[in-house]
Amino acid sequence: MKKTPIWGMWLFTVGAFAFVVAILVLVKAVPLETFSGMVTGALGTPGGWRGTLREMTPLLILGAAVFLALKAGLFNIGADGQYTVGALAGVATALAVPGPLGMVLALGAGCLAGALWALPAGLIKAYKGGHEVITTIMMNNIARFLTVALVAGPLRNPAQESATTKILAKESQLPILIQDGPFRLNIALFLGLGIVIGVGIWLRTTVSGYELMATGANKRAAEASGVSVAQTLVKAMTASGLLAGLAGAVHVLAYENRFYADFSPGFGFDALGVALLAASNPFLLIPAALLFGAISQGTSAISILGVPKGLSGVLLGLTILVFAVFRYRKETPHA
């Protein structure tokens, strides 16, 4: 088969960009003003940086979670649901046990909840061949209904009009390191960076990391050289869920400080984009998370100009497609 010419990919990129411009014109926004507003809103002011780094934190951890699964050949679309249950478990634990001990327990509870939420998808994939994309999406829906019911029922703060938990006490929150005018830097960002670097080192230097990547590269070859593919798949999916749950717990302990109905703005799906952009290098998760954090913060900033927040979805989807066209082609047509 003939190879796709390189100009075709650039044409596709230009087409994607033209599409965004056309949409902006259609909704009566000035494209140049919108783009410059996004850049200034995300990276041009201390307050913008605060928001960008805040959005970046869960994307780092969730990106590492999705990346880990992707290296084993699994699409963890369920990161969003695992993140949600992790966040709720984290809040519930931190409310029950105040102080630093509660903080540690809350992070652990988040990990546990996320891992348990991912486990069925891993088991079904490994032993029954049911596709993880569908099972994890179903688990996302169940997570939404369950957490909404819990926050409207037993965990609800009766003093509030809407369905939300109580706000965590100051000593249960992850501390802010730098506070300068509108700028804030929470320790959670460094936790996220540490997790990304840890996952990168783990994948590249340990036996279990190697087995995971071997499974993702070629199941048959991995099995033939003594790797238990089924077990590796279950472990990879569970570990991915664990990290996603941790991301939820970190996000509530550091930034939101409470849980409310429909908690996730779709971080789990953004994380798929982050992991895809990082491609084969785990350390590229850091700039990828920064980019998606900036897009998210930038579109929030320009929503004042009357451009809806949904623009971030358009940019996210097109970024995935354009990047995939350059990076994720199948090299040989023969299996």
Partner 1 sequence: MLSLFVLSLTLSVPLILAALGGLTSERSGVINIGLEGKMLVAACITGLVGMASGNAFVGFLCGSGAAVAMSLLHYLVTQAFRVDHIISGMGLNALAVGLTSVLHKRLTNPDFTDRIPGFPVQVYWVIAGAAVVGIAWYLNRTKGGLRLSAVGNDPDKARQMGVQPTLVRFYALVATGLFCGLAGSLIVTNAGSFTENMTAGKGYIALAALILGGWRPLPALLACILFGFFEALQIQLQGQAILGVDLPSWVWQSLPYFVTIVALAGFLGKNQAPAGLGRP
Q: What angle do CA 244, 57, 146 make, to 5 degrees?
A: 40
Instruction: Give me the amino acid identity at 270.
Output: D
Choose one: 34-42, 86-94, 187-195, 313-321; the region binding partner 1 (CB under 8 A).
Answer: 313-321
Please tell me whether residue 311 binds partner 1 under the rule CB under 8 A: yes
Q: What whole-number distance in Å separates Cα of residue 83 and Cα of residue 250?
A: 10
Indicate which single residue of 62, 237, 276, 284 sits in contact with partner 1 (rule: CB under 8 A).
276
Please tell me whether residue 230 binds partner 1 under the rule CB under 8 A: no
Choose one: 122-130, 166-174, 235-243, 285-293; the region binding partner 1 (CB under 8 A).
Answer: 122-130
Choose one: 20-28, 191-199, 216-224, 280-288; the region binding partner 1 (CB under 8 A).
Answer: 20-28
What are the backbone dihedrals phi and psi of residue 127, each rounded to the nearest 5 degrees, phi first? -110, -15
Q: To the nearest whole angstrom, how small is the minimum distance from the Cβ of residue 318 to partner 1?
A: 6
Q: Are strands 183-186 and 176-180 parallel, antiparallel or unpaired?
A: antiparallel
Q: To the nearest whole angstrom, how small is the minimum distance from the Cβ of residue 107 to partner 1?
A: 26
Q: DSSP string spanning 124-180?
A: IIIII---HHHHHHHHHHHHHHHHHHHHHTTT--TTSSSSB-PPPPGGGSPPEEEEE
Q: Two tokens at 187?
A: 């320790």
- Among 216, 278, 252, which Cα is nearest to 64's? 278
Q: What whole-number distance in Å separates Cα of residue 111 and Cα of residue 122?
A: 16
Q: Contact at 8 Å (CB) between 272 and 79?
A: yes
Q: Give whichever of 175 and 308 is closer to partner 1, judged by the CB atom.
A: 308
Please tell me whether residue 321 binds partner 1 under the rule CB under 8 A: yes
Indicate which single residue of 6, 26, 224, 304 sits in contact with partner 1 (rule: CB under 8 A).
26
Choose one: 33-41, 98-106, 174-182, 265-273; the region binding partner 1 (CB under 8 A).
Answer: 265-273
Please tell me whether residue 35 binds partner 1 under the rule CB under 8 A: no
**Binding string, 178-217, against partner 1, x = CB under 8 A?**
----------------------------------------
Please tell me whether residue 138 binds partner 1 under the rule CB under 8 A: yes
Q: Give whichever of 247 and 277 is closer to partner 1, judged by the CB atom.
A: 277
Q: What whole-number distance in Å separates Cα of residue 271 and Cα of residue 108?
A: 21
Q: To the nearest whole angstrom, how small is the minimum distance from the Cβ of residue 80 to partner 1?
A: 12
Indicate which single residue of 10, 25, 104, 141 sits in contact with partner 1 (rule: CB under 8 A).
141
Q: Contact at 8 Å (CB) between 150 and 142?
A: no
Q: What whole-number distance in Å separates Cα of residue 61 and Cα of residue 243?
A: 6
Indicate which single residue of 97, 119, 137, 230 sits in contact with partner 1 (rule: CB under 8 A).
137
Please tell me whether residue 315 binds partner 1 under the rule CB under 8 A: yes
For helices 285-302 and 267-278, the axis angle rounded to 10 degrees is 140
Indicate which single residue of 22, 25, 27, 104 sits in contact with partner 1 (rule: CB under 8 A).
27
Q: Give whichever of 107 and 307 is closer to partner 1, judged by the CB atom.
A: 307
Q: What whole-number distance in Å separates Cα of residue 99 and Cα of residue 172?
A: 5
Burial tier of 4 (Cβ tally within 10 Å: 0-12, 13-18, 19+): exposed
Which positions touch partner 1 (CB under 8 A)?
1, 4, 8-9, 12, 23, 26-28, 75, 77, 120, 124, 128-131, 133-135, 137-139, 141-142, 145-146, 148-149, 153, 266, 269, 272-273, 276, 306-318, 320-321, 324-325, 328-330, 333-335
